[in-house]
Amino acid sequence: MIKEGFSPQRAVKEETILADLVVIGGGLAGVCCALTAARAGIKVVLVQDRPVLGGNSSSEVRLWILGATSHMGNNNRWAREGGTIDELLTENMYRNKEGNPVIFDTILLEKVNSEPNITLLLNTAVYEVNKKNDREISQVQGFCSQNSTRYVLQAPLFCDSSGDGIVAFQAGASFRMGAEPAEEFGELFAPDVEDYGELLGHSLYFHTKDVGQAVPFVAPAYALKDINKLARWRSYQLQDHGCRLWWVEYGGRLDTVHQSEEIKWELWKVVYGIWDFVKNSGEYPDAANLTLEWVGMIPGKRESRRFEGDYMLIQQDVVEQREHYDAVATGGWSLDLHPADGVYSDKRPCNQWHSKGVYQIPYRCYYSKDINNLFLAGRIISASHVAFASSRVMATCAHGAQAVGMAAVLASQNNWLPRDLSQPERIGLLQQALNKSGQGIPRVAPSVPGNLMKEAQLTANGELVLNEIPFNGPWMDLAYSSAQLLPLEAGQHYAFRIKVKAVKATTLKVAFRTSSKVQNYTPDITLEEQEFQVAVGEQELAIQLNTSLDVDQYAFLCFMANPDVAIRASETRLTGVLSVFNKFNKAVSNYGKQEPPPNIGMEAFEFWVPIRRPAGHNIACLLYTSPSPRDRG
């Protein structure tokens, strides 16, 4: 037994841990940063103040992991983030195709726990920062509530991926909270803060379950009584649960750091008020057998502090897809701002405006301009409020955090500080290390010294010449415009043969389109249009193009909507060949065409998106090159 007499004061157990890098925050950004760094050979401490990893993607919050592909809702084809985050998502798809967030917890914990170079501290909140001097952190201190231990964590390098930036804040790093005026960076999408607000709120989700018999519900006393206070409560449908309730949002008018508990309580009031109305108002008779299976204990937080680096990402970087010499990550989610009043607002629940393609994020956004040995990762990176509206989503945060992990390795090996790597003569080392590890960076080609692939001789037993997408699939109605996305060569004049079927004599319009930027998949340039008279029944059409491409790139052979016509599809799937459709996807503000109001700095264009398999067949065709129009004449 332990028996101890009175003492005027006692100290908790204390443990000091030395490392090369301390990562504070175990969301997807922190996890990917830690794994990347540890696998490359340095000692990492990963500190997480929750019992599980994953942050907003964990079983505690249950948010979908969003990124550049925008749930296949924008034109960013093949934009999946690579490297460590791709590994995690692929493993999750293999083990957990049902999307169980508890299983995803286990995958993240397994990956981190299996890495010998990582010391993982769960349930440990960092609460104090100690500095060697004004510009350099020497150690941080954290407390674990489960083992009553204070940890003193010492390292030459630190990464703050904590969401609210607890380390960067205490270290004195420059930060912003709220929206910049439009004049500061020339951002036309900057909100009117008096009317719209300047912070995004928190969201809280719930899940329901049909138990096969009637279940009564007695609401807690704190549940919202007057459901009509919620401007959007009628948005709720019985089949909605989890992330489909993202609009249950609140807190953008409050301090989203220090008033998070108040925000959580308000969201609990809203959730239980909605459910009380559903169960007891009589307006939802089909809800009789439904019960609440899960309600979030902590809300998903969107926005709080953003810290300043040597570069600040702004709206124009996203929309114009500006190129940066020090690009280390990619983004592609929309500029997605929400009204600060959230569920109480009568405005649209979000304003999502997409770019025509993916954009680069420079390395200079990923370290503090003030604290010499502090990296930034996750949603707190150096970005304006408007640009943050895109860079804040988890897959984008994770992609950038991988770059931080690799930068920490190079800094540790060379005795550099984070800023030292930003020099033009050094940044290539980081970019190529990332490329080598599978984290592709848009328009930064792999060029690793000593790469044996450059000297290798490749032979093949055969080759695929794309001259046919077989006519072995179903007929596909042209209820909406449909296109075949094809990789085509410059200078060639192509011809196609397709099969169509019409229920009455009509006209079919065909367009040949491409993208104004070779790296995009937005068909905003029409090279030519043709019209074909279609008779009743099945027939073959010959399409002879008169124009050619200036560079090798993807092009769209578009068949414009006509409900009286069906086109023959193919069961054959070919890597890099895809059908796309001018369809709606309201979940990501895709209404077929983006038509922004004037003077917000966004572009109008059409969305052409794939359909998830097993649907989304390729359009069957014969494809061949033909003489130029001059030669044909």
Provide the pLDDT for residue 161: 98
pLDDT score for 303? 98
Q: What is the DSSP letter of 227?
A: G
Residue 253 lies in a domain: yes
Q: Are 388 and 309 in contact (CB under 8 A)?
A: no
Query: Do 18 and 165 share a domain, yes or no?
Result: yes
Phi, psi angle pair for 410, to nearest 5°: -65, -40
Q: For 482, phi and psi rounded to 5 degrees?
A: -130, 150
**Backbone phi, psi, residue 339, to 5°:** -65, 140
In the chain, % of residues over pLDDT 70: 99
At residue 629, does pLDDT exceed 70? no
Whether pLDDT at 632 is above 70: no
Mean of pLDDT values over 530-535: 98
Residues 545 and 398 in one domain: no
**DSSP letters spanning 245-309:** GTT-EE-TTS-TTTTHHHHHHHHHHHHHHHHHHHHHSSS-GGGTTEEEEEE-SSPEE----EE--
**Is 98 among the domain residues?**
yes
pLDDT given at position 633: 53
- The answer, yes or no, to whether residue 183 has pLDDT greater than 90, is yes
State the pLDDT at residue 588: 77
Q: Is 414 in the same domain as 429? A: yes
Going by their DSSP bridges, the two strands 157-160 and 21-24 should be labelled as parallel
The answer to whether the CB of 154 falls within 8 A of the CB of 18 is yes
Of the residues 436, 458, 491, the one at which a domain ends: 436
Report d(CA 28, CA 101) in Å as an integer: 13
Mean of pLDDT over the chain: 95
Looking at the structure, tell me whether residues 24 and 142 fall in a common domain. yes
| Residue 425: how many other CB atoms lie within 10 Å | 6
Of 340, 336, 349, 73, give the one whose Cα is nearest residue 234.
349
Give me 23's structure tokens: 């990562």
Pairing of strands 136-144, 124-133: antiparallel
Per-residue pLDDT, averaged over 316-330, amounts to: 98
Contact 470, 620 (CB under 8 A): yes
What 8-state DSSP symbol labels residue 225?
Answer: S
Segment among 163-167, 182-186, 330-334, 465-469 with least mean pLDDT: 465-469
**Domain holding 563: CATH number?**
2.60.120
372 and 265 within one domain: no
Mean pLDDT of 345-373: 96
Q: Is residue 446 helix, strand or coil?
A: coil
Residue 196 domain-assigned (yes or no): no
Q: Residue 13, exposed/middle/buried by CB under 10 A (0-12, 13-18, 19+)?
A: exposed
Mean pLDDT of 366-382: 98
Q: What percent of the chain lies above the pLDDT cut of 90?
A: 89
How far apart CA 363 and CA 397 sit, in angstroms, is 13
In a domain, 458, yes or no: no
The whole domain housing 272 covers 202-301
Give the integer Cα–Cα distance in Å for 180 and 198.
8
- Pair 373, 422 in one domain: yes
Q: Give me the number of domains the chain comprises.
A: 3
Give 449's strand partners.
none
In this structure, are residues 74 and 588 in contact, taking their beta carbons and an 8 Å threshold? yes
Give the span between the Cα atoms of 603 and 597, in whole angstroms: 9
Q: How confident is the model at residue 631 (pLDDT cuts 50, 70, 90)?
A: low
Q: What is the pLDDT of residue 630?
A: 54
**pLDDT(174) > 70:** yes
* Whether the predicted pLDDT of 628 surpasses 70: no
Q: 207 and 157 share a domain?
A: no
In a domain, 409, yes or no: yes
Write out pLDDT tens, residues 448-486: 777 777 778 888 888 888 999 999 999 999 999 999 999
Flag whether pLDDT at 587 surpasses 80.
no
Whether the predicted pLDDT of 337 surpasses 60? yes
- Quick check: is 123 in a domain? yes
Residues 142 and 172 in one domain: yes
Answer whether 443's CB lies under 8 Å from 411's CB: no
List, for residues 202-245, the tens digit of each pLDDT value.
999 999 999 999 999 999 999 999 998 998 777 788 988 889 99
Supply the pLDDT for residue 465: 84
Kindly state whether residue 215 falls inside one of the protein's structural domains: yes
Contact 596, 462 (CB under 8 A): no
CATH number at residue 44: 3.50.50.60
pLDDT at 224: 97
Query: What is the C-alpha to C-alpha distance for residues 538 and 404, in angstroms, rounded to an integer?
Result: 58
Q: Give the C-alpha separation, 327 to 444, whole Å.
A: 8
Structure tokens at 185: 């960076």
pLDDT exceeds cutoff 70 at 4: yes
Q: What is the pLDDT of residues 266-302, one digit of tens each?
A: 999 999 999 999 999 999 999 999 999 999 999 999 9
37 with 153, same domain: the answer is yes
145 and 294 housed in the same domain: no
Do 405 and 327 sit in the same domain of this protein? Answer: yes
Is 37 a member of any domain?
yes
pLDDT computed for residue 627 by the predictor: 74
Q: Are 535 and 527 in contact (CB under 8 A)?
A: no
Same-domain check for residues 357 and 404: yes
CA dihedral for 376, 23, 27, 344, sign (positive or negative): negative
**Bond from prior residue into 362 cis (ω within 30 degrees of 0):** no
- Nearest CA to 170 among 135, 126, 129? 129
Cβ proximity of 52 and 105 under 8 Å? yes
